[in-house]
Amino acid sequence: MKISNVRVFIDGQFHEDLEVRFDTEKILEIGQNLEDEEVIDGKGNYLYAGIIDTHMHGGWLRNFNDIKTLPEYGDIEEQIRYILKKCPEYGVTTVFPTLTGISDEERISSCRAIRKVRKDVDGADPMKIHFECTYMNPDVISSAIHNWDVNPSRENTLYFTDNDLSDVALISVAPELEGSIEWIKWITSQGVDVEFGNTKATVDQIIEAVDAGVRHCDHIFNGFKPMHHRDSTPTVGVLLDDRVKTQITMDGFHVAPSWVKLVVKVKGIDKCYGITDFSVYSGIEPGEYKFSNGVEIIAKDDFIYNGNGHIQSGNNTMDKMMRRCRDICGFTQEQVATLYCENPAKCLNITDRGKIEIGRRSDFVIMDEDYNVLKTIIKGKIYYENRYVD
């Protein structure tokens, strides 16, 4: 099969004269006038690599975290399957299920469910697991949101990962915690990446941790001690050290557009990658809700607020995030594609997908110029087709 009549995004630019031929495993050819009897006519729209969302907690009232948030929507396995099946509607073909500040036992049951679903997944691939708010400074984020206070250690990490690090992508740490440097050296030697998160570290502590092996930053600014011109804050350390790649929430609200632009300018676009940070309550229609667990929320203006009016999460699917990145944060179509469609793979050293390149997985998304998803292809097969957008 081949895709023709599209603007193919490769290495930071769109190519209007290329076709892409593939089978059910990988991309076979990229070029002009390729021979194939089966043709998908892209009708002049945009072809991107299937998108990797490396930071997603759940969505559509379902959760990757086994915390029984809304049990009426199924057990943990059913909820995971639902999320993965929905993701391709928004261009996402690979997900890093993100497990947050929950108990070790809940992390274990979440890992087991994700690993079970992965064996016969229907939808986006839950490729790797992302542990956020794992070893955090409790002074940075409210204990009303997360109740987790433990220093990093080899024993604890092996316990909550169910003694299996083979599919763990990222674990977050506040490097000022006792034992963190020794732990960073050990966990990175096991092939697991570490990200800074929920920290009040000084610039010197950040650099010491980078020297020990940290190479990533959880959504920059959010969960960090605020920047101040007379203070040595962790965000400054992340910006200064060229070895660190950083996630950014580019919805124009979690981080002001000018700050997003500053990060991309200082770090360089190749060291930044976009995420959704989708939560269990994300993906719902605007309105006021009261759920069976007693939670009251308001969904309005593409965001989720709690009953007191405090922002709880974004309500932007991947297509909306890309649109807001362009329209609110002010990036070009090429920059948006770089940040969301190629950089997650590039920054996390993923080489089997996440870019339109011969030999990589045949995962694609065709979007119009306003980021409406027209077709999502997973392993060479059309998984989702939008019949309401021409």
Gap between the Cα atoms of 299 and 297, Å rounded:
7
Instruction: Encode pLDDT of 4-31 as tens digits.
Output: 999 999 999 999 999 999 999 999 999 9
Q: Report the 10 Å Cβ neighbour count for 287.
A: 9
Which amino acid does the sequence have at 215? R
DSSP 269-288: GGGEEE---B-TTTTPPSEE
Report the pLDDT value the prediction gives residue 163, as an integer from 0 to 100.
98
CA–CA separation, 8 vs 356, rounded Å?
A: 8
The shares of helix, strand and coil residues in the chain, as percent rounded to the nearest 5, are: 25, 30, 45
Q: What pLDDT score does 380 carry? A: 97
Nearest 5°: phi and psi at 59? 160, 160
Q: Mean per-residue pLDDT for 270-274?
A: 98
Burial (CB count within 10 angstroms: exposed 0-12, middle 13-18, buried 19+), residue 167: middle
Superfamily of domain 2-49+354-385: Urease, subunit C, domain 1 (2.30.40.10)
- Looking at domain 51-347, its CATH architecture is Alpha-Beta Barrel (3.20)
Residue 148: predicted pLDDT:
62
The tens digit of pLDDT for each residue in 213-223 reads 999 999 999 99
Predicted pLDDT at 116: 98
The pLDDT confidence band at residue 143, using thresholds 50, 70 and 90, is very low
Per DSSP, which regions of 17-110 are E strands?
Answer: 19-22, 27-31, 39-49, 51-56, 58-59, 62-63, 92-99
Cβ 69 vs Cβ 57: under 8 Å = no
When pLDDT is averaged across residues 38-50 and rounded to a whole number, the result is 97
d(CA 300, CA 285) in angstroms, rounded, equals 8
- Dihedral over Cα of 177, 182, 188, 190: its sign: negative
pLDDT computed for residue 389 by the predictor: 63
pTM of the model: 0.96
What six digits make up the tokens of 389? 């957008």
Q: What pLDDT sits at residue 307?
A: 84
Q: Taking a C-beta distance cutoff of 8 angstroms, is the pair 305, 312 a contact? A: yes
Distance CA 303, CA 193 (A): 30
For the ranges 94-108, 348-362, 375-389, the maximum mean pLDDT occurs at: 348-362
Domain boundaries for CATH 2.30.40.10 within the chain: 2-49+354-385
CA 67/CA 162 separation, integer angstroms: 17
Q: How far is CA 68 from the centre of its chain?
A: 23
Smallest CA-to-CA distance from 375 within 40, 32, 35, 9 is with 40
- All CATH 3.20.20.140 domain ranges of the chain, comma separated, are 51-347
* pLDDT tens, residue by residue, 80-125: 999 999 999 999 999 999 999 788 999 999 999 999 999 999 999 9
User: What does the pLDDT read at residue 144?
Assistant: 42
Q: Would you call 113 exposed, middle or buried from its count of C-beta atoms within 10 A (0-12, 13-18, 19+)?
A: buried
- DSSP labels for 322-346? HHHHHHTT---HHHHHIIIIIHHHH
What number is the average pLDDT over the span 194-215? 97
Residue 203: pLDDT band (50, 70, 90) is: very high
Which residue from 308, 35, 344, 49 is spatially nearest to 216, judged by alpha carbons?
A: 344
User: Would you say residue 46 has pLDDT above 70?
Assistant: yes
**% residues pLDDT > 70 (the chain):** 97
* Structure confidence at residue 351 (pLDDT): 98
Sequence length of the chain is 390
Cα–Cα distances (Å) from 29 to 2, 357, 365, in that order, read: 9, 8, 17
